[in-house]
Amino acid sequence: MVRTALFEAAHIMLTRATRFSSLKHWALDVAKRRGMKRAKVALARKLGVVLHRMWVDATEFRWSKAATMA
């Protein structure tokens, strides 16, 4: 069920989300090179890795890299 939820989150992030993030930009670059289906799978995996690191480190998600610099 987690796999399905991650894929659905990637699909929504690429198709319906209006707020732009570095993850979306990365996935759209992958989509240009490899196709939208592979980009969704790659983004789902990347989201899983990010969520796991957030869980292990107990950190919050940041939309941009600018927040880390400040």
Q: Which comes out higher in pLDDT, residue 18 or 11?
A: 11
- Is the per-residue pLDDT at 70 higher than 60? no
* Pairwise CA distance, residues 13 & 11, whole Å: 5
Question: Which of 21, 70, 19, 66 is CA-nearest to residue 47?
Answer: 21
Element spanning 47, H or E: helix 36-57
How confident is residue 3, by pLDDT bands cut at 50, 70 and 90? very high
pTM: 0.80
Distance from C-alpha of 18 to C-alpha of 30, rounded to nearest angstrom: 19
> How far lies 23's CA from each of 1, 52, in Å?
22, 15
Rounded average pLDDT over 47-52: 92
